[in-house]
Structure 1
Amino acid sequence: MTRVLIEDYPHRRAGHCGSGALRDLIDWAGSGWDGPPSEALVFGMGGGLGFQYFQIPGLMPPIYFVGRTADMELDLCARLGIETERKQTDDAELGWSWVADELDAGRPVMVWADILELPYLRVRLSNTRHDIVVIGYDTDADIAYVVDNDRDGFQAVPLPVLAKARNSSGFPDRNRHATYPMRFPDRLPDLLPVARDAAAAAVANLHGTDQVSAGGSELHLPGGSGIFGLAGVERFCGDIARWPVELDPNDLMIALHSIRVFVEKAGTGGGLFRRLQAGFCHEVAELTGDLAFRAAADAYDTCAQTWSRLAALATTETPDHGEIALCAAKLPAAEHRAVDALAAAAG
């Protein structure tokens, strides 16, 4: 029998799977700036804020949008000097050996798993790129121990179930036992220069000028590659105003309810990741005294609040389509102001 468990792993709940998992891993490695980083600081340091909007005819809902880049996790590691790669395979035995080798060496390891296949979650939608951290396994009991941003403590998952979740062909694509072995530096780079670099990356994402990240795994769905950045926000907000005449009542209700899912419920940290970005800017300003980051924090607070208000209006019992359209019409300006403030912080 083999039983391995990394004791006292510093796990806390988080609003977003990737930044929560990386926050815990950085804390486990004993790194940070003036103490372990917050989830928001980790998210912002990834430079992953963005927007991508898909129109998918024939599916319901007929839209999909996301507020982060596909490879924020790899980009964060590259920026902080954390050595890693995303290893993928169709061979389940090889895929598990990557995990077991890390655990046997005393290192926790981040992997992708489809949320629809994880037994401790109660979800109806698939997401094959959900980040969890494996912190142990027991061959006699045939289980692995994992931590997840949506649950306290560790979860015991049967090894065959975990293997299925790690090789799912669900949405948005097959995850192929994706595994991220990491080697942490003795010391993270100085905060302010890295924060400015991350801010510049997010600005490039939203201007639609830098969509291929370190891993190059941007989304491609049946509707095409989507509309990026601020142009995508503008198209999405314009489309909302036309939904009442383009969709039948049932499809309209489904599309409106999907807004809340994508903005608040789908592991975004609230406000389509804008609340996490605001927290990043607030924390950089607090730790460094940088006034430009303080201004960017305020702008992203407003932006996040506008996205959250849209989500709330879209899911009232009797939605007011005029009010929804008016709120959506305010979003492009809020996004532009926030991006401009972030560009000033980036220098």
Structure 2
Amino acid sequence: MRKRLVLAMAGVLIAGSLTGMGRPAFADHCDPSVQGAQCEDVGPGLEDFVDIRQVPPGDTGVRAARGSFTSRCGRNENGHRNSDNHIVTPGVSNGAHHVHDYVGNLTTNGFSTDESLAAGGTTCRFGDRSAYFWPVLRSRTGVGAAQAAASASPSPDQPGGASEGNVGRILLARSVTLQFRGNPVSRVVAMPRFLRMITGDAKAATNGGANARAQWTCTGFTNRLTSRYPLCPRGSQVLRVLDFPSCWDGQNTDSAGHRTHVVFPGANGACPAGTRAIPQLRMTLAYSVPSGPSFAVDSFPEQRHNPVTDHADFENVMPDRLMTTVVSCVNRGLRC
């Protein structure tokens, strides 16, 4: 089994470097002499990181037309977080087993319904009550024996946190861009209200890559994407680019498995037969991270913080009039 390492706490350091760049040292995530600690392969590993300058240019994600509409919803300055997921595990507390950041609807949790979201407040402009959420990113600087011991002793009052192996300081995104983009081949139609979508696979490390959609890069390098954690040059921020499917079956707002009612377009941007193009949501999340391989996304324990597990969720709770504006901006080639 490949050796996975996390950043050591002070005093338990070993020398390390990556691709010739000076990097903080790594060591095993826990001290076996600590009572109750379990020295397990919790990840992430050095092999999960890549110098962004070594990623070939060319991949920029899902193709889109020029028109777009950006919903401005803040970056979760109010600290709306929980480890629920009302789309995948409705009616369950801690159903995600990792912590989500939320923007948009102020009431989103595991027990949310279409009706409760429609009645909720929002951080977005123009009454966009949609629910936008993704797993938090954490600094792993200083993670060591104390945190490992905590993760070995599950605690019900820490849902999605140390009891699940998700340790370290949560990083607040420096910016959150929620952009609805046009289709390069056809005009788009309105999303139905309460449309639910997911992108990526939170269990991709064990499920395989069929539904994986992780896209990482750095500011200044957005013409290249990678499924590994990017190591960015000084002054550059880490970016998570989360593209959602945008070809709707024209009937359903959800489906079993949450993946067949809205699918991704083909490589040329065209939607499959029997589907129609809707505005394509792209979330771009920017972070300032500690230098070196010292950060990780929250995950299910068995996923070991693999960067390929990055994912996000969305439920459309825009007023119909606002969605009409979105469609108009996109189809007219405007940037709104």
TM-score range, shorter chain: under 0.3
Relative contact order (C-alpha < 8 Å, sep 6+): which is higher? Answer: 2
Between Structure 1 and Structure 2, which shows a larger proportion of strand residues? 2
Between Structure 1 and Structure 2, which shows a larger proportion of helix residues? 1
The normalised TM-score by structure 2 is 0.22
